Amino acid sequence: MSKVLWSPWRHDYIKSFSEGMVRECLFCRLAQLSDDYAYILYRGNKAYVVLNAYPYNSGHLMIAPYRHVASIDELDDEELIEVAKLVRLCINVLKKALKPDGLNIGVNIGRAAGAGVEGHVHVHVVPRWIGDSNFMPITSGYKPLPIALTETYGLLKEEFKGKSFNSISKLKAS
Which residues lie near Zn ion (CB under 5 A)?
25, 27-28, 68, 120
Cβ 150 to Zn ion shortest distance, Å:
25
Closer by beta carbon to Zn ion, 79 or else 151: 79
Closer by beta carbon to Zn ion, 68 or else 163: 68
Q: SS3 for 126?
A: strand
Q: How far is CA 80 from CA 38, 68, 75, in A?
A: 23, 14, 6
Q: Does 122 qualify as catalytic in the annotation? A: yes
**Cα–Cα dist 54/72, whole Å:** 23
Please state the length of the chain. Answer: 174
Q: Per the residue annotation, which of 11, 60, 120, 122 is the catalytic one? A: 122
Cβ 154 to Zn ion shortest distance, Å:
27
Closer by beta carbon to Zn ion, 118 or else 163: 118
Cβ 51 to Zn ion shortest distance, Å:
18
Taking CB atoms, the residue at the shortest distance from Zn ion is: 25
Close Cβ partners of 42 (under 8 Å, ≥ 6 residues apart):
48, 49, 86, 89, 160, 163, 165
Contact of 120 with 71, CB cutoff 8 Å: no
Cβ 120 to Zn ion shortest distance, Å:
3
Angle separating helix axes 77-98 and 145-160, nearest 10 degrees: 110
Closer by beta carbon to Zn ion, 6 or else 13: 13
Q: Which residues are catalytic?
A: 122
